[in-house]
Amino acid sequence: MKSYLPFVVIGLTTGSVYAIAAMGLVVTYSTSGVFNFAHGAVGMVGAFAFYSLTVDAGLPMGLSIPIAVLVVGPALGVVIDRVLFRRLHGTGAATYVVVSLGLLVVLQALAVAIYGPETRQMDPIFPRWTYQLPGVRVGIDQTMLVIIAALSGAALLAFFRFTRLGLYTRAVVGDPELAELKRLNSAGITRFSWMLGSSFAALAGVLLTPTLGLDSIVLTGLVIQAFAAAVVGKLTSIPKTYLGAIGLGVAASLATKLVASRPALSGLPNSLPFFILFGILVLSPKGSFPEILKAVAAPVRSRAVRAGAPRFPGALLVAAAAAAALAPAVLSGSQLFTATSVLAFVLIFSSLSLLLGLSRQISLAHAVFVVFGATTVAHLQHAGVPYLVALLAGGLIVLPVGAVLAIPAVRLSGLFLALATFAFGVLAQSLLFGTELMFGRAGIVHISRPELFGFSLGSDRAFYYFVLAVVAAGVVAVETVRVTRLGRVLRGLGDSVPATESLGVNPVVSRVLIFCLAGFLAAIAGGLEGTLTSSVNPISFGFFQSLLWVTVLVTGGMASLGGSILAALLLVAVPSVFTSPTVLDWLPVGFGAAAIVLAQTPNGLAGLVRLPDFSALATASRWRLDNLRGQERIAGAAQAGAVQ
């Protein structure tokens, strides 16, 4: 029993820091209705500000911590509220998710661009003394963290319970419009809650820095473990969130002790919060997690979106395929390699657009499909299975995964589906990527170029054409789905589930189907990409890639083939053409920012460069022609009359 006590102490400490971050998340979510995926990134910014003020500017911690927590954090909160989210009022949950993901990518990439990717170390904030409690030695720093978290939780509760501003904030949570009628400035109160929430995030970031070091990805990632605690509190209850965070911290710490002798489970402690997150979201009774934000019919500000069903992009498909077929003639070795990769990513983005663009379901686990496809091909190839069979098997093996992901898709809407898939993506990475099953003992798998029917695909050119053929087939499948009944049903479900159900449509079947199809195609693309690069390691397709892909696809355009092609070019071709480190560092910043700007557009950049609709133009000019002839006739008749 005694040997567990130190782990309980560690768990209480980490749980306390999660609690601070999670309570901040709950404050902003419950007042503004916006779940900020970038909450961890806000904490990361606070931590970097703390670092710069202390190490670069030489301020004492007694000054740098208050500035980071009480000035930088709240200021960032004001910017997020003012610049990003207020203008989205009335749009659907998917738009908010995309914008906060864009913010996450921007902040994350900015930190790397400015501070570099290496982890920096900081001196501890609190003294390193320890003291003895019955059965365990406890550090002053650990004690301080627990006290700070408990005090801030209590202060937050007291604020909401006993102060006038707290009461007003609860009123705005209940009904912002009614609060306005009761003379409350809802916008101002929402802004205040963003300041409060961001301040909590910054505090968590600052407190984590001395133990974790200053690493943008780790900080962004660790504070998002707070998501699980917030979901325990149903995203609204501060006491439950606090207790949930403490419980998660202790459970994860005890799990570390338990799995110490079982290396296969080594990923479990870190992924425990995501297990809980996924589990609660999937297993709670339907309707436990209603969206706070309701989409309202907002005025269409830009030019009117042309109504009408999407058409099969036959012309674009033929033109793109022709261009792709001719491309090897002008491309040299490394360029051909890039072009092949672009093709594979066209299929990845095209499959993602089935979820994102067609059915308006945000899936943040797309990289998992890609990884499964690649590793399956590698393992089967080693076992002597013919390449085509292995590639197909890689696609088929993710069907159960797609079906598992479809469960939250059926039960949850918008934000909560995004959260569940996010948890799933992290889970898959931390539990499976480290095992021999996925990447083998070496943590990397190799795929060699195959021979098909006695014809070697060893040359880059031959393999390019093979990839082109497979991708073209996959894209045709995607575009066919878009214009058939399944596509219509999914678009209907994206608009209104009850309305679609009332037509006798079973939403479960179509959602399971589309997740399976998207997963299948992404896995095939993963197999192709893996064969191209000839080796796959867990780092190349981490969960952060899934997030980045969403922002890139939103930028390119999530509703059409043109958008997928554009996204693939942006993600793969741009960095290989412009190879300067500056471009590589700032490119993700650009993707995130573009996703934020374009989140409200129906089809990203592809929607802005619209090809003229010749048939519509012809109809219009025919009308004008008829009109003209009619006028001539009238004029002629009038002339004839005058002559008489």
Site residues for another protein per CB under 8 A: 164, 167-168, 170-171, 173-175, 177-187, 297-300
Residue position matching structure tokens 């980490």: 14
CB 457 within 8 A of CB 466: yes
| Minimum CB–partner distance for residue 56 and another protein (Å) | 42
CB 190 within 8 A of CB 239: no
SS (H, E, C) 501-561: HCCCCCHHHHHHHHHHHHHHHHHHHHHHHHHHHCEECCCCCCHHHHHHHHHHHHHHCCCCH
State which residue, 118 or 177, has the beta carbon closest to another protein: 177
| Minimum CB–partner distance for residue 199 and another protein (Å) | 25
Q: Cα(598)–Cα(95) distance, rounded to whole angstroms? A: 9
| Minimum CB–partner distance for residue 89 and another protein (Å) | 12
| Minimum CB–partner distance for residue 60 and another protein (Å) | 40
- CA–CA–CA angle 460, 461, 465 (5° rounding): 115
Q: Which amino acid is at 404?
A: V
Q: Residue 422, CB half-sphere, CA atoms under 13 Å: how many?
A: 24
| Minimum CB–partner distance for residue 304 and another protein (Å) | 8
Task: Provide the CA 358 distance to its chain's centre, in angstroms.
Answer: 17
Q: Cα(180)–Cα(194) distance, rounded to whole angstroms? A: 18
State which residue, 299 or 308, has the beta carbon closest to another protein: 299
First to last CA, the chain: 117
| Minimum CB–partner distance for residue 291 and another protein (Å) | 17
State which residue, 92 or 328, has the beta carbon closest to another protein: 92
| Minimum CB–partner distance for residue 182 and another protein (Å) | 5
Element at 452 (helix H, strand E): strand 451-452
| Minimum CB–partner distance for residue 236 and another protein (Å) | 10
State which residue, 237 or 576, has the beta carbon closest to another protein: 237
Q: Which two tokens stand for residue 79?
A: 């910017």
Residues contacting residue 104 through CB under 8 Å, at least 6 positions apart = 37, 38, 40, 41, 220, 547, 592
**Short-list 314, 324, 420, CA closest to 363:** 420
| Minimum CB–partner distance for residue 78 and another protein (Å) | 18
State which residue, 173 or 418, has the beta carbon closest to another protein: 173
| Minimum CB–partner distance for residue 295 and another protein (Å) | 12
Q: At 457, is the secondary structure helix, strand, or coil?
A: coil
State which residue, 28 or 510, has the beta carbon closest to another protein: 28
State which residue, 121 or 185, has the beta carbon closest to another protein: 185
| Minimum CB–partner distance for residue 166 and another protein (Å) | 10
State which residue, 66 or 174, has the beta carbon closest to another protein: 174
State which residue, 166 or 440, has the beta carbon closest to another protein: 166
Q: What is the DSSP string of 238-295?
A: HHHHHHHHHHHHHHHHHHHHHGGG-GGGTTHHHHHHHHHHHHHHHHSPTTSS--SS--
State which residue, 164 or 306, has the beta carbon closest to another protein: 164
| Minimum CB–partner distance for residue 90 and another protein (Å) | 10
Q: What is the DSSP letter of 132?
A: E
- Phi and psi of 455, rounded to 5°? -110, 120
- CA–CA–CA angle 545, 548, 550 (5° rounding): 115
Instruction: To the nearest 10°, report the CA torsion of 55, 61, 64, 70.
Output: 150
State which residue, 298 or 318, has the beta carbon closest to another protein: 298
State which residue, 2 or 164, has the beta carbon closest to another protein: 164
Q: Which two tokens stand for residue 465?
A: 């054409």
| Minimum CB–partner distance for residue 187 and another protein (Å) | 8
Q: Which two tokens stand for residue 70?
A: 């009480």
Q: What is the DSSP letter of 125?
A: S
State which residue, 105 or 179, has the beta carbon closest to another protein: 179
- Phi and psi of 126, rounded to 5°? -105, 155
